[in-house]
């Protein structure tokens, strides 16, 4: 008898508990993540652009360094 | 790890007594702070190596070329031991490996011995138990110095340079001759050899020492050629070899030294680093030959590593204390 009461209680309470857990907080969370995700995408794009610029600058500097070294080596040739 | 190996090696040299004759803290400080006197080393009978690897610290605005001049090292030699360092701006307080440790070339210890592969000249003064060694600049690709034996046939102070026809064809702007002075690429002194087109001389561009920049002549820092000019008489034998692998026993341990290829030397000059290439084809046979009956003590993985890295620094390749036969030759 006692077991039956427990089962009935659980059967009634479980849907309520599930609804409480899944409804309103989930809605709020989705909205926040979307905003954060957009900002993150923008930051990522900015960072990628900066990285690309830095990589290009590094390549340019390396090429310039190589050219300078080559010219210097040539200038040392008798 | 590399630094640890160098420090260990340095300790070994101190233990052997080949390094600076200083001990304890005073010796350590001296080794780090003072420039090396690289030119001359005591040489006992049957000695196979001289010098020691040292660590130096850079001071702005010195370049790596300045450091090379200070320690009497060539450019390629210094760059091979310090890859990736910008030679123009090495930074302030940067630790630099000073590879002032040499296995002597496999040649008779007399007269002048020039090893093109390591861009270095050795002089064994007659009657003295010393060896003097200096970095040299050598020929560009395709303009190699002959290998063989010749002699010094004349000494000339303040030489006039008459560019040969081959150089005139490359550079028609050159005058028929360049008188002694700051524009003369021969510098202040020259030795004429039995090979008419090839000289050992000074330079008006010291940064070219330790590089492949000549048409086959060998040139030294001005202070080095001045010293040799005073010491070396006409008639001295000059032996030119090309040993990119050197191996020798030092205090019952086998050391191996492998130098960058000519291409890698040029790459170090242009890119300040070098692309690994295969070890010299004769590396294992040279090491085996040098090891003789003790070949079983060789750690061949170290030999291969030395062959790949080509730092030009002698590295111990035997396992200390290992009884013969205890190390497998994976060769």
Give the model's pLDDT for residue B168. Answer: 92
Could you tell me which residues are beta bridge partners of residue B202? none
Structure tokens of A62?
Answer: 């390396």
CB contact under 8 A, B217 and A77: no
Structure tokens of B250?
Answer: 């030092």
Cα(B175)–Cα(B177) distance, rounded to whole angstroms? 5
Give chain B's residues under pLDDT 50.
Answer: 1-37, 324-331
Task: Determine contact: B86 vs chain A, CB below 8 A.
Answer: yes
Q: Say what the pTM is.
A: 0.80
> B117: how many CB neighbours lie within 10 A of its CB?
22
Integer CA distances (angstroms), B277 to A25, B58, B110, B254, B280, in order: 62, 29, 34, 23, 9
**Residue A8 pLDDT exceeds 90:** no
Strands B199-201 and B212-214, by their bridges, are unpaired
Of B130, B140, B162, B181, whose CA–CA distance to A76 is shortest?
B140
What domains are defined for chain B?
2-103 (3.10.350.10), 111-241 (2.40.440.10), 245-316 (no CATH)
> What proportion of chain A, given as a percentage, has pLDDT over 90?
53
HEC profile for chain B?
Answer: CHHHHHHHHHHHHHHHCCCCCCCHHHHHHHHHHCCCCCCEEECCCCCCEEEEEEEEECCCCCCHHHHHHHHCCCHHHHHHHCCCCCCCCCCCCCEEEEEEEEECCCCCCCEEEEEHHHCEEEEECCCCCEEEEEECEEECCCCCCCCEEEEEEEEEECCCECCCHHHHHHCCCCCCCECCCCCCCCCCEEEEECCCCCEEECCCCHHHCCCEEECCCEECCHHHHHHHHHHCCCCCEEEEECCCEEEEEECCEEEEEECCCHHHHHHHHHHCCCCCCCCCCCHHHHHHHHHHHHHHHECHHHHHHHHHHCCCCCEECECCCCCCCCCCCCC
Tokens 């052997």 label which residue? B16
Which member of A66, A75, A78 has the closest CB to residue B270?
Answer: A66
Residues of A whose CB is below 8 A from B269: 69, 73
Terminal alpha carbon distance of chain B: 24
Give the model's pLDDT for residue B307. Answer: 98
Please tell me the distance in Å from B293's CA to the nearest CA on chain A.
Answer: 45
Number of domains in chain A: 1
Active-site choice (B168, B201, B219, B259):
B201
For residues B96 and B55, the answer to whether their CB atoms sit within 8 Å is yes
For residues B111 and B241, the answer to whether their CB atoms sit within 8 Å is no
ipTM computed for the complex: 0.80
Cα(B128)–Cα(B85) distance, rounded to whole angstroms? 38
CB contact under 8 A, B270 and A77: no
> Which residue of chain A has the CA closest to B140?
A77
Task: Determine contact: A65 vs chain B, CB below 8 A.
Answer: yes
Give the model's pLDDT for residue B76. Answer: 98
Give the model's pLDDT for residue B257. Answer: 98
The range of the structural domain enclosing residue A52 comes to 2-76
For residues B109 and B124, the answer to whether their CB atoms sit within 8 Å is yes
Give the model's pLDDT for residue B144. Answer: 85
Task: Determine contact: A64 vs chain B, CB below 8 A.
Answer: no
Q: Regarding predicted confidence, which is higher, A1 or B72?
A: B72
Residues of A whose CB is below 8 A from B211: 73, 76
Task: Determine contact: A22 vs chain B, CB below 8 A.
Answer: no
Over residues A36-67, the pLDDT tens digits come to 999 999 999 999 999 999 999 999 999 999 99
Q: Is B217 a catalytic residue?
A: yes
């Amino acid at each position: 008898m006692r077991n039956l009461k427990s089962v009935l209680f659980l059967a009634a309470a479980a849907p309520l508990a599930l609804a409480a857990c899944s409804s309103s907080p989930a809605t709020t969370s989705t909205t926040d993540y979307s905003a954060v995700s957009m900002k993150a995408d923008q930051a990522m794009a900015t960072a990628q652009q900066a990285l690309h610029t830095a990589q290009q600058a590094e390549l340019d500097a390396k090429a310039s360094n190589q050219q300078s070294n080559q010219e210097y080596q040539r200038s040392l040739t008798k | 790890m590399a630094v640890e190996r160098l420090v260990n090696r340095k300790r070994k040299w101190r233990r052997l007594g080949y390094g600076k004759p200083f001990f304890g803290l005073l010796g350590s400080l001296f080794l780090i702070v003072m420039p090396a006197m690289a030119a001359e080393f005591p040489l006992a009978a049957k000695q196979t190596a001289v010098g020691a690897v040292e660590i130096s610290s850079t001071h702005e605005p010195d370049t790596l070329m300045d450091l090379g001049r200070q320690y009497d090292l060539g450019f390629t030699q210094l760059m091979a031991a310090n890859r990736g360092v910008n030679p123009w701006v090495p930074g302030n307080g940067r630790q630099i490996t000073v590879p002032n440790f040499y296995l002597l070339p496999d040649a008779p210890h007399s007269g002048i011995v020039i090893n093109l592969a390591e861009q270095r000249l050795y002089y064994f003064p007659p009657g003295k138990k010393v060896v003097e060694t200096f970095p040299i600049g050598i020929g560009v690709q395709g303009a190699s110095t002959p290998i063989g034996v010749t002699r010094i046939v004349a000494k000339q102070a303040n030489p006039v340079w008459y560019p040969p026809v081959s150089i005139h064809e490359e550079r028609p702007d050159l005058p028929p001759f360049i008188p002694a002075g700051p524009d003369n690429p021969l510098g202040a002194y020259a030795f004429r050899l039995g090979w008419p087109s090839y000289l050992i001389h000074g330079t008006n561009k010291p940064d070219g020492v330790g590089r492949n920049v000549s048409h086959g002549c060998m040139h030294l820092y001005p202070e080095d050629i001045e010293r040799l000019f005073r010491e070396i008489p006409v008639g001295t034998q000059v032996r030119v070899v090309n040993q990119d692998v050197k191996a020798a026993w030092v205090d019952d341990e086998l050391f191996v030294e492998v130098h960058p290829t000519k291409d890698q030397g040029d790459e170090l000059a242009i890119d300040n680093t070098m692309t690994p290439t295969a070890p010299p084809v004769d590396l294992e046979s040279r090491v085996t030959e040098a090891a003789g009956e003790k070949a079983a003590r060789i750690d061949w993985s170290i030999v291969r590593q030395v062959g790949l890295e080509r730092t030009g620094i002698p590295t111990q390749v035997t396992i200390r204390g290992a009884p013969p036969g205890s190390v497998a030759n994976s060769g």
